[in-house]
């Protein structure tokens, strides 16, 4: 399936402010799924599990870092700011992925971090590539 085309009804993704999320891993076939934007309940990990994408996880509570993913915006509207949860800041700092200076700068610039925890991040109205 070409990048940017998900299974189902493509037009629905625009009518209901849905985002296309493509999960990618060299060991698996890419999978693109829909996410309802701003649902405030659908984390990336929940979406991955629903669509049988084998993203690693353990605690599901922002503590262990096993679900760390790298994000890239592939949306023509441009990048959106995503706030990091306090748990993500702590874990990503501990994994040497995101120093405090960078966390501070992202907040000032309202820019997203390329590293996130899939169990903490909620979908937004932005098409993204998720490397896991
Ligand atoms: S599963 Fe442990 S931090 Fe996400």
- Structural domains of the chain ordered from first start: 12-131 (3.10.20.30)
Q: What is the pLDDT of residue 6?
A: 52
What torsion do the CA atoms of 82, 85, 91, 95 make, to the nearest 10 degrees? 10
Backbone angles phi, psi at 89, to 5 degrees: -55, -45
Q: Is the pTM of this model over 0.85?
A: no
Confidence of residue 16 (pLDDT cuts 50, 70, 90): low
Confidence of residue 14 (pLDDT cuts 50, 70, 90): very low
Confidence of residue 40 (pLDDT cuts 50, 70, 90): low
pLDDT for 50-100, tens place per residue? 999 999 999 999 999 999 999 999 988 877 777 888 999 999 999 999 999
The pick from 61, 84, 94 for probing ligand 1's pocket by mutation, whose C-beta has the most ligand atoms within 8 angstroms, reads 61
For residue 71, the cross-strand partners are 130
Distance 89 CA to ligand 1 centre (A): 13
The pick from 43, 49, 60 for probing ligand 1's pocket by mutation, whose C-beta has the most ligand atoms within 8 angstroms, reads 60
| CB-CB neighbours of 40 under 10 Å | 8
pLDDT for 107-132, tens place per residue? 888 888 999 999 999 877 889 999 99
Backbone angles phi, psi at 48, to 5 degrees: -60, -45
Distance 67 CA to ligand 1 centre (A): 5
**Ligand 1 atom with minimal separation from the 120 CA:** 4
| Ligand 1 atom 3 nearest Cα | 62
Q: What is the pLDDT of residue 9?
A: 46
């Amino acid at each position: 399936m070409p990048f940017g085309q998900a299974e189902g009804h493509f037009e629905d993704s625009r009518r209901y402010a849905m985002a296309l999320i493509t999960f990618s891993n060299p060991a698996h076939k890419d999978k693109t799924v829909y996410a309802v934007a701003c649902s405030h309940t659908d984390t990336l990990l929940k979406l991955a599990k629903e669509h049988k994408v084998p993203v690693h996880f353990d605690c599901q509570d922002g503590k262990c870092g096993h679900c760390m993913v790298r994000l890239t915006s592939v949306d023509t509207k441009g990048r959106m700011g995503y706030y990091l949860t306090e748990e993500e800041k702590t874990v990503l700092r501990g994994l040497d992925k995101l120093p405090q200076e960078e966390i501070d700068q992202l907040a000032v610039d309202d820019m997203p971090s390329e590293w996130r925890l899939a169990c903490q991040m909620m979908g937004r109205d932005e098409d993204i590539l998720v490397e896991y």
